[in-house]
Chain A
Amino acid sequence: MAAKNLPPTYDKLAKHEVFPDLNHDERARYNFLANLNKHLAHVSQGNSLAFENRVKPKYEKENGHDFQSKDALGDAMSKDPHYQTWSALRRCTMEMRQQAGRSLTYRQAQQLTDKVNSINEGKSTLELDDEVNVPPYLMAVDNHIMPGSYHTELYEGDVANAANYDGGLFVTTAGLLGKYTDGGGQAIAQWMKDNHPTFQPKRILDVGCGIGHNTLPIAKMYPDAEVIAIDTGRPMLRYGHARAQVLGYPNVKFMQVEASEMPFEDESFDWIQTTMFLHETGGKSIYNIMKEIYRCLKPGGITMHIEQPQYTDDMSLYEQWIRDWDAYNNSEPYWSKMHDIDPKQLMMDCGFNGDHYMQIGAQAINDLDDGNQKADEPEDHGRSPIWNVFGTWKKSV
């Protein structure tokens, strides 16, 4: 059951001046974990086998009908020994990845902060604001089981979890997001250029930017645009700003701003982007955020949102259920709830005209591919760098 192809070794990931230092064993640990994730994508195929071959037939025999709800299906599957083993291994792998990343970044906590501070000092492109609160949906959970999440500061000037995030995305995706883990940002920038070659945005906003890894490819594609990236996590903003500076983006501005209360003028952006952000918000906030996006977008501007694939009517109950695994077991709870929302209706409820709504598929642009990363890997629900992108132009007709 060995993986058909191999993830790139960790040393191929591009480093920058504020990237944490990894010693030999720390790199080896990440190599093991990337391989383990790749292996588990194969193990996950046993779940649908178990479902079709024993869980479903047993249920039908006992009840005289097929599963009629996700809950009933989940109850039955959760008793299956293969599902139990795969789930336990996957959870274990995520926990090991967090421990591996945090042990290496927190052991050099002060050095990371010193490096980041020396770059950020005196720069007007980083605006932190003590008055901005971390929204309750972020306080309620540690998304993807990163203890402390994006906002916790364990010491003055903490950036360790941000560095942990930067260095560890490689592991979860087994290197499929490219050498700067920016495959999502690259994909949307390229899509815009290819599909709307005459669109020349002057002012671009990235909402929920994290460390800005998906913001920078957009700034690269539109070097003349003013690019602003917002988040509420101070460690992410400090680190992301320093990262952008050393990677050659001195003009990208990082601001501590809550997405449902943006301090920007009405109709002041040509493009407002979110990338893997909305599924980490909350049931009411997602509407408040989308209304703010509508308010801040210029007429004729565009907003695009890279997200997990939506559930569709032709998706089987099993498929919907297994796609919820990360929501509850990798702590991204709103991921599951968001699937019940029709994104077009969401946008229309927040002011947009449904006539210009669009939904596209996007795949990460992987500049790490050395020929070993073939596309014929099994679908690893919620982990493959294949996304649903929805959005709209802001036009009256």
Chain B
Amino acid sequence: MSDKNNIIDYIGIAGNKPKGARPYFFDDPAVERVLNITMAIGMELAVMRERMDSMERLLEEKGVMTNEEIDNYIPPNKAIADERQQWHSEYISRILRIIQQEMEQIKNPDKTLQEIADDIDKM
């Protein structure tokens, strides 16, 4: 759930690129890009699985809800609808993080860590 009184663009900040040009390991960076997106989706699937597991155990324990009720659910007001959309926005930023960082590198081309290591060695 997102906090309403954010003083800062926390979604953008969370995905920022660290200093130094990002190392790529595959011959084609496209492979790496797809891998990163896939791994993030994999993580979010694991998160969802854990949440579903919590829910199912709680529901079973309390006997309060049926599958049919979940199938028929629509957001009852704008606040809830917005909250769900905000979740999608954060979710997409998370799985497309590598593209955000590549854009940041295009905007501000950065030294390699090898070059920075040489710089630091003289500091």
Contact = CB atoms under 8 A, between A and B. Distances in A.
B25 to A, nearest CB: 4
Contact of B3 (A92, A107, A137, A337): A107
B116 A333 contact: yes
Given A137-B120, A283-B120, A89 B35 contact: yes
A148 interface: yes
Interface stretch (A24-32, A193-201, A313-321, A372-380): A24-32
A147 interface: yes
A140 B47 contact: no
Contacts of A147: 13, 16-19
A154 interface: yes
Contacts, number: 156
A108 B122 contact: no
Contacts of A327: 113, 117
B47 A25 contact: yes
B50 interface: yes
Given A33-B43, A137-B120, A331 B113 contact: yes
A24 B50 CA distance: 9
Interface residues of A, number: 58
A155 B8 contact: yes
Contacts of A140: 19, 116, 119-120, 123
A186 B98 CA distance: 37
Nearest to B39: A92
A136 B23 contact: no
Contacts of B11: 103
Contacts of B116: 140-141, 333
Contacts of A310: none
A23 B1 contact: yes
Contacts of A96: 39-40, 43, 97
A286 to B, nearest CB: 10
A382 to B, nearest CB: 15
Contacts of A329: 23, 113
B47 A29 contact: yes
Interface string A318-342: 0000000001110101101100000
Contacts of A283: 120-123
Contacts of B46: 28, 31-32
Interface string B20-46: 101111110001100110011001001
B14 interface: yes
B120 A145 contact: no
A140 B112 CA distance: 11
B6 interface: yes
Interface stretch (A80-88, A121-129, A212-220): A80-88
Interface in A232-280: none
A149 B16 CA distance: 12
Interface in A106-123: 106-111
Interface residues of B, number: 49
A99 interface: yes
Contact of A282 (B27, B36, B121): B121
A5 interface: no
B117 A142 contact: no
B64 interface: no
B54 interface: yes
A78 B3 contact: no
Contacts of A28: 46-47, 50-51
Interface string B70-103: 0000000000000000000010001001100100
Nearest to B19: A142
Contact of B14 (A83, A106, A331): A106
A88 B18 contact: no
A98 interface: yes
Nearest to A31: B50
Nearest to B5: A110
A210 B93 CA distance: 29
A361 interface: no
Interface centre among A108, A141, A148 (most CB of B within 10 A): A141
A92 B114 contact: no
Given A99-B15, A103-B90, A88 B35 contact: yes
B67 interface: no
Nearest to B24: A88
A147 B101 CA distance: 11
A12 interface: no
11 contacts: A83-B25, A95-B97, A98-B18, A99-B14, A103-B14, A107-B10, A137-B123, A140-B116, A147-B16, A283-B123, A334-B121
Closest 9 CB pairs of A and B: A103-B14, A333-B117, A106-B10, A282-B123, A283-B121, A142-B18, A145-B18, A28-B50, A147-B16
